[in-house]
């Protein structure tokens, strides 16, 4: 195993899905089975990524492998294409490949009979390529490029059933809302480039740790970090740009599982992970606040939604907010850990919902479900396991990562006095447990509410259930740690994921990230030190209280769900009536869509209409006006010419004509008259001469 070989593997992993995309797109019409080719190349990519992860973790666990080629040279600037393999990147690529492969398999059955079957797999290939690109790249420009490509493949897949207006609307909305975030990210990338004259992550971070800052100020470093974070706000559907994700559920359900639950939306988190080292304390604090709001608001919305996929979508936003908040408070490792665990169980939940929708013949409203556990036992079992995992019950992966995050917020509270993050964290944990079990109970338990649909429901075929089983299996603790109660004893968060060296100048960091001398010698109480001795201690002190509390709130949430929906001790409808205003806010998603429609959308379209009118009436009016004025002037001068100048000439003619008129009286044409005149004149002349 040489480093070069790993680079070659990663290039293959990257480009095989692209080849699949191109082939499936070009020949999809001619060969109906071309989707198999796409599946096969993806499988190869998957196998290679397993080898890649194994090799990286076995042989190069502490090193970062990079390779680059020159792409563009302009002036004195060179832009490279490159690959950077660190532990985080290879783990991420494995997650992407596992889920992508399972979603491919699931889709083979789920999408059967669709008129654009091959096109669907082509788009999945494009997405997998773009997502791998984000993960593997070593510079932020390439990341932005793949970022946009992911956006476009998401656009294509959300709008896959474009005959539906709602689907094409959702696709458009997703792309445009994402672009808003991307503009911020672009500005951040530009800031980095003009300061450091490179796009490469390593070189940028090196220069930051040498004290080179944008405009020589820590403030601008904060701004730059936040601008880049804007990209994450868009892609990870964070508050206030979270509105696109629930609508994106218009896409096929496997797509929701792959893109809008496990991978693409996690790209935002991955971006923050990637640039974590250059985020100042202030930037992290703002990121934490955004994450907190994104965790809280969608969790409250998810309580009242009735569409099975929308509940999961809001849950996704909430969990992503969790990760972002965790990064904001410095819980780096657990944020990324949660990204991985969440990817598996949320993909499982989405595919499970797909299985339900498939079994119910495209019914998505949970009010029409109920009692499905008998009809779909495997789907039920996997869905339940994933729900337990997301609720944070021990023995599951979700418990480990969530507990870590809660401990992180707890430690942050104890170190800085900002306890709000911890409070919201526990609150959201409870809400999550509640709405997930509401979903499980309403869908699978109780009596069927729609007998007709229930009778026709059936368990999904093997190829759809198998991915569910695999993903549910990955939601157990033993993949990550031997100790089901403490991830810190496991290999993922101690060996594989390590917080990076912070490059930000000391005085711009959080207090607890400042280097203290004791931290240098490796371990404290048998734990490896992260950031500083102070922080490491605080985290471990927070561990047990946080764990107990989180168990408590999760249990409480689950209990409440059972009380209300299973045992019906409390009537949900009455409860809703009692808290009518709160219920309405939640049910109407805090009116975000309405507010945005009324302000930004209406504002932009109104402005565009106004400007178009302005263009037509004023600008073009001036042009046409000047033409009219010119024509008016020319008409006038034409008249002037006609009447005055030419008039003078004509007057002369008229005058002579008039004189002629008088004189033509004498011109009778009769010779005799002339003779009379001659004689008459002669006589007169005679007299005249005579008188002389």
C-beta of residue 436 within 8 angstroms of C-beta of residue 383: no
Inter-residue contact 467 to 351 (CB < 8 Å): yes
- Classify strands 527-528 and 523-524 as parallel, antiparallel or unpaired: antiparallel
Determine if 71 is a binding residue for other proteins (CB under 8 A).
yes
Position among 423, 577, 602, 612 found at the interface with other proteins (CB under 8 A) = 612
Say whether residue 654 binds other proteins (CB under 8 A): no
Q: Nearer Cβ to other proteins, position 22 or 44?
A: 22
Q: Does 175 bind other proteins (CB under 8 A)?
A: yes
Cα 522 to Cα 527: distance, rounded to the nearest angstrom: 8
Residues near 317 by beta carbon (within 8 Å), at least 6 away in sequence = 237, 238, 242, 245, 246, 294, 298
Q: Which residue in the set 216, 584, 668, 681 belongs to the binding site for other proteins (CB under 8 A)?
A: 668
Which residue lies nearer to other proteins by CB, 569 or 613? 613
**Cα 305 vs. chain centroid, distance in angstroms?**
22
Segments of 267-386 assigned E as strands:
none
Is residue 216 within 8 A of residue 191, CB to CB? The reply is no
What is the distance between the alpha carbons of residues 225 and 215, in angstroms, rounded to a whole number?
14
**156/538 with CB nearer other proteins:** 156
Q: Which residue has the tokens 């220069």?
A: 207
User: Could you tell me the two tokens for 468?
Assistant: 């569910």
Total site size for other proteins, rule CB under 8 A: 59
Closest separation between CB of residue 132 and other proteins, Å?
14
* 40 vs 679 by CB, closer to other proteins: 679
Residues 6+ apart with CB under 8 A from 133: 14, 142, 143, 145, 146, 149
176 binds other proteins (CB under 8 A): yes
The residues, ordered by sequence, that sit 6+ positions from 331 with a Cβ below 8 Å of its Cβ are: 404, 405, 407, 408, 409, 411, 412, 539
Kindly state whether residue 203 participates in binding other proteins, applying the rule CB under 8 A. no
Q: Is 74 in the site for other proteins (CB under 8 A)?
A: yes
CB of 354 to other proteins, least distance (A): 23
Near other proteins by CB under 8 A: residue from 210, 656, 667, 681: 667
Q: Which is nearer to other proteins, 98 or 189 (CB)?
A: 189
End-to-end Cα spacing for the chain: 145
3-state secondary structure 660-683: HHHHHCCCCCCHHHHHHHHHHHHH
Taking the complex as a whole, the smallest distance from the CB of residue 186 to other proteins amounts, in Å, to: 6
Task: Please give the C-alpha separations between residue 60 and each of 119, 491, 527, in angstroms, as whole numbers.
Answer: 39, 15, 22
Contacting range for other proteins; rule: CB under 8 A; set: 147-155, 432-440, 581-589, 645-653: 147-155
Q: Does residue 506 touch other proteins according to CB under 8 A?
A: no
Q: Mark the segment that binds other proteins (CB under 8 A) among 279-287, 294-302, 495-503, 674-682.
A: 674-682
As measured in angstroms, the least distance from the Cβ of 190 to other proteins is 4
Is 670 a binder of other proteins (CB under 8 A)? yes
Rounded to an integer, what distance in angstroms lies between the CA atom of residue 310 and that of residue 291? 20
Residue 217 in the binding site for other proteins (CB under 8 A): no
- Report if residue 204 touches other proteins, rule: CB under 8 A: no
Q: Determine, following the binding rule CB under 8 A, whether residue 627 of this chain makes contact with other proteins.
A: yes
Binds other proteins (CB under 8 A): choice among 50, 552, 648, 679: 679
Q: Is 683 in the site for other proteins (CB under 8 A)?
A: no
The token pair that represents 360 in the structure block: 């119910």
Query: Would you put residue 362 in left (φ > 0), alpha (ψ -120 to 50) or beta?
Result: left
- With contacts defined by CB under 8 A, name the span among 265-273, 396-404, 532-540, 605-613 that binds other proteins: 605-613
Q: Does 187 bind other proteins (CB under 8 A)?
A: yes
C-alpha 348/C-alpha 353 separation (Å) is 8
Determine, following the binding rule CB under 8 A, whether residue 141 of this chain makes contact with other proteins.
Answer: yes
Kindly list the residues in this chain that would bind other proteins in the complex (CB under 8 A). Answer: 29, 71-77, 141, 144-146, 148-149, 152, 155, 159, 162-163, 165, 168-169, 171-172, 175-176, 179-180, 183, 186-187, 190-191, 193-194, 604-605, 607-609, 611-613, 615, 619-620, 622-623, 627, 664, 667-672, 675-676, 679
């Amino acid at each position: 195993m040489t480093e070069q070989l790993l680079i070659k593997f990663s290039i293959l992993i990257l480009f095989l899905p692209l080849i699949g995309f191109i082939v499936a797109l070009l020949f999809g019409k001619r060969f109906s089975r071309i989707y198999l080719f796409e599946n096969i190349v993806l499988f190869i990519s998957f196998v290679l990524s397993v080898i890649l992860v194994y090799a990286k973790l076995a042989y190069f666990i502490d090193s970062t492998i990079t390779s680059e080629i020159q792409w563009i040279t302009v002036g004195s600037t060179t832009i490279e294409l490159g690959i950077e393999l660190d532990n985080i990147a290879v783990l991420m690529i494995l997650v992407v490949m596992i889920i992508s492969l399972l979603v491919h398999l699931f889709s083979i059955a789920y999408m059967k009979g669709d008129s654009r079957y091959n096109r669907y797999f082509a788009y999945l290939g494009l997405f997998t390529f773009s997502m791998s690109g984000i993960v593997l790249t070593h510079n932020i420009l390439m990341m932005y490029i793949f970022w946009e490509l992911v956006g476009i493949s998401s656009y294509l897949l959300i709008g896959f059933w474009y005959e539906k207006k709602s689907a094409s609307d959702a696709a458009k909305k997703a792309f445009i809302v994402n672009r808003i975030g991307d503009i911020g990210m672009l500005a951040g990338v530009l800031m980095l480039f003009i300061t450091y004259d490179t796009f490469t992550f390593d070189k940028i971070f090196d220069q930051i740790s040498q004290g080179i800052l944008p405009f020589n100020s820590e403030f601008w470093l904060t701004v730059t970090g936040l601008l880049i974070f804007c990209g994450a706000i868009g892609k990870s559907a964070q508050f206030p740009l979270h509105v696109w994700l629930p609508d994106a559920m218009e896409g096929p359900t496997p797509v929701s599982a792959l893109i809008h639950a496990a991978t693409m939306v996690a790209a935002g988190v991955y971006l923050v992970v990637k640039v974590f080292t250059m985020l100042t304390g202030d930037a992290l604090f703002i990121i934490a606040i955004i994450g907190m709001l994104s965790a809280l608001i969608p969790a409250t919305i998810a309580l009242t939604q009735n569409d099975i996929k929308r509940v999961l979508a809001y849950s996704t936003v909430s969990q992503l907010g969790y990760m972002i908040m965790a990064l904001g408070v410095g819980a780096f490792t657990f944020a990324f850990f949660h990204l991985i665990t969440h990817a598996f169980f949320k993909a499982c939940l989405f595919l499970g919902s797909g299985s339900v929708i498939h079994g119910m013949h495209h019914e998505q409203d949970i009010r029409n479900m109920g009692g499905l556990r008998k009809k779909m036992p495997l789907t039920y079992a996997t869905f339940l396991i994933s729900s337990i995992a997301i609720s944070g019950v021990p023995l599951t992966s979700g418990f480990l990562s969530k507990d870590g995050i809660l401990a992180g917020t707890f430690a942050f509270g104890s170190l800085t006095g900002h306890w709000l993050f911890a409070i919201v964290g526990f609150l959201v944990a409870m809400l999550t447990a509640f709405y997930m079990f509401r979903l499980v109970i309403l869908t699978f338990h109780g009596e069927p509410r729609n007998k007709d649909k229930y009778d026709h429901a059936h368990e999904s075929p093997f190829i759809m259930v198998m991915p569910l089983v695999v993903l549910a299996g990955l939601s157990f603790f033993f993949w990550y740690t031997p100790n089901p109660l403490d991830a810190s004893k496991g290999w993922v968060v101690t060996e594989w994921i390590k917080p990076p060296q912070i490059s930000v100048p000391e005085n711009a960091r959080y207090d607890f990230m400042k280097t203290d001398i004791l931290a240098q010698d490796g371990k404290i109480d048998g734990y490896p030190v992260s950031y500083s001795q102070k922080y490491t201690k605080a985290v471990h002190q927070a561990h047990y209280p946080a764990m107990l509390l989180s168990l408590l709130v999760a249990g409480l949430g689950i209990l409440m769900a059972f009380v209300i929906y299973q045992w019906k001790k409390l009537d949900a409808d009455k409860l809703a009536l009692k808290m009518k205003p709160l219920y309405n806010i939640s049910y109407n998603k805090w009116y975000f869509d309405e507010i945005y429609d009324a302000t930004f959308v209406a504002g932009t379209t109104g402005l565009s209409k106004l400007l178009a009118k302005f263009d037509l009436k004023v600008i073009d009016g001036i042009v046409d006006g000047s033409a009219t004025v010119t024509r008016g002037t020319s008409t006038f001068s034409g008249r002037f010419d006609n009447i005055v100048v030419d008039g003078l000439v004509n007057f002369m003619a008229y005058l002579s004509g008039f004189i002629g008129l008088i004189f033509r009286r004498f011109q009778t044409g009769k010779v005799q008259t002339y003779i009379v005149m001659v004689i008459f004149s002669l006589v007169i002349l005679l007299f005249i001469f005579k008188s002389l």
